[in-house]
Amino acid sequence: MHGRKFLSWLPAAAAVLSMVALSACGGSSAEQQVLKKYFDASRLRDNRTTANIATVSFRPSEEGIVQSFSVVTTSEDVRTPLGIKELNDAYEQVRAADQEFSEKKKIYQDENLEAIDRVLRAERENTRLRGRDLEVQTEWTKYREEMAESAKKVSEAQQALGQSRSVAELSVFSAENPVDVTQYDGDMITKQITINARIRTPDEQNVEKQLNVTIQRAELRGGPGGDIGGRWIITSIKEG
């Protein structure tokens, strides 16, 4: 009976030892601490914590569990302008233009609904049109092409804004003081970190892997809340 009680403590003890090992190698810099916090949370499947400090995942069921790691190299900071203000302005402009075009298209569609129905039926049946229906087909084809081009511009502008905005918002997020990053100028700071990691794989093997980690943080300036320094966010993890 005592033997069973002793054995029941082994998984918990192993987990504690793993956490101690990971804590011991985490270092004291802000960059290393965010890596330690991330791998701790990933091991415990704490999705809420990982979502607050990373845009990528390191799933125990797929990548395994990082039991310990050591930093090999850390790059210098690379600063690039955020450009969120400009990207947001560009997005709002193309969105407004798309809305204006959609309203114009709807007016034409409502005024020519029956003819457009005949055009669509003729296109499905691959039959030729004449007279007024042919004119409507030409005009409606033009509307469809312009609609596709307008939607593409909106999508591209939204994607460009989203890529820059999402990391910046996560970096400066505060539940108590929400920040509208589109009202700020500033920089995105990027750092590359190479680590040697001891990983317990999903099939219970212990392996050593080199991982290249990208971390980023935003520094905002010129907005209503003054200057704001963001925290490091993990945006990429790849095997070296």
User: Most confidently modeled of 1-15, 80-94, 129-143?
Assistant: 129-143
pLDDT > 80? residue 138: yes
Distance separating alpha carbons of residues 46 and 40, to the nearest angstrom = 8
Percentage of the chain beyond pLDDT 70 is: 88
pLDDT digits (tens, 9 = 90+) for 145-173: 999 999 999 999 998 888 778 899 999 99
pLDDT > 80? residue 13: no
Phi-psi region of 27 (alpha: psi -120 to 50; beta: other; left: phi over 0): left
pLDDT digits (tens, 9 = 90+) for 42-74: 999 999 999 999 999 999 999 999 999 999 999
CB 195 within 8 A of CB 71: yes
With a CB cutoff of 8 Å and minimum separation 6, the contacts of 220 are 82, 168, 172, 179, 181, 184, 185, 186, 227, 228, 229, 230
Phi-psi region of 141 (alpha: psi -120 to 50; beta: other; left: phi over 0): alpha
CB 128 within 8 A of CB 137: no
Q: What is the pTM of this model?
A: 0.69
pLDDT at residue 26, as a whole number: 39
pLDDT at residue 29, as a whole number: 85
